[in-house]
Amino acid sequence: MATSKRRQLRGFDLKQIEGVSELIGVDEAGRGALAGPVVAGAVLVTRTFLDGRWAATNAARINDSKQLTPAERDALWLDFEALVAEGQIHATFGSADVAEIEQVNILGATKLAMRRALEGIHPPGAFAKPATEPDLFASPEEIAAFQPQVSCKIIVDGLALRHFPYPHTGVVKGDGRSLCIAMASIIAKVTRDRLMNDLDAQFPGYGFAQHKGYGTEEHRDAVLRLGRCPQHRDLFLRKLLAGRVDPAQVDFLEDGEM
């Protein structure tokens, strides 16, 4: 992606934040993998941050996490840690494990991970308006209680989520359009990669540290040789081994169904 194109990510967010004080981008990693958790990242930015020096000079380094090298992602992670420590941004992640994926399916688990990431920034009730209105003689304090507690917009990569506790807007291919969604994608990707490295040590032989649980030929061969492990997603694995899923497309399962 050209530098001028990457700079458009910041411009997109500057438009999205108009009328509110905070903008939160949300994205996930691991939705289409055969093994391991699904992880979501959430990054809160303000107009001050978007107008500030770091965003102006570093927007060209930000992109959809899948388009960056591991070294680029790790360098940006360190930058994000410094920005959080300075109070310039707020960045969190949430995850849903394999047992939860099996229980509520991958779509439900993705929403669960996203909700957990957002809860690290604001509780859902902070966005809710009461069903009734204050009466005519309500005090200023009572009137204030009828307003949402935060002035914030949430944008999520992909289509809008149904039955989700946070009001939000879906942005198709948002990790290539929005700076804060792309930042969230990096948080999710780096976090999940590190979790998969840990799982590689717990379940050697599958190559989790290399393919991160996706349906590569190496991974499929290891499953045929060793059998499944507790970190494999049964439904995904059954479909793949039955030949009903093209491993080259497994990361795009259920796209558009959010």
Q: Which residue has the higher pLDDT, 245 or 135?
A: 135
E-assigned strand segments in 97-223: 152-157, 169-171
Domain 3-204 falls in which CATH fold? Nucleotidyltransferase; domain 5 (3.30.420)
Exposed, middle or buried: residue 156 (CB in 10 Å: 0-12, 13-18, 19+)? buried
Q: How far from 247 is each of 79, 97, 173, CA to CA, in Å?
A: 34, 21, 22
Q: Please report, as a single letter, which amino acid is at residue 14.
A: L
Token pair 């040789």: residue: 225
**Can you give the pTM of this predicted structure?**
0.85
- CA-wise closest residue to 187 among 89, 112, 253: 89
Lowest mean pLDDT across 71-80, 109-118, 167-176, 230-239 = 230-239
C-alpha to C-alpha distance for 212 and 197, rounded to whole angstroms: 8
- Tokens of residue 244, six digits: 């009903």
Query: 28-37, 132-141, 156-165, 166-175: which range is least confident on average?
Result: 132-141
- List the chain domain ranges: 3-204
- Per-residue pLDDT at 187 exceeds 50: yes
Q: What is the DSSP letter of 85?
A: H
User: How far is residue 188's CA from residue 90's CA, in Å, rounded to a whole number?
Assistant: 14
pLDDT confidence band for 238 (50 / 70 / 90)? confident
The amino acid present at 42, given as its one-letter code, is A
In whole angstroms, what is the distance from residue 38 CA to residue 94 CA? 9
126-151 pLDDT, tens digit per residue, is 876 655 665 666 666 665 555 556 68
Q: Are 27 and 184 in contact (CB under 8 A)?
A: yes
* Residue 120 confidence class, pLDDT cut points 50, 70, 90: very high
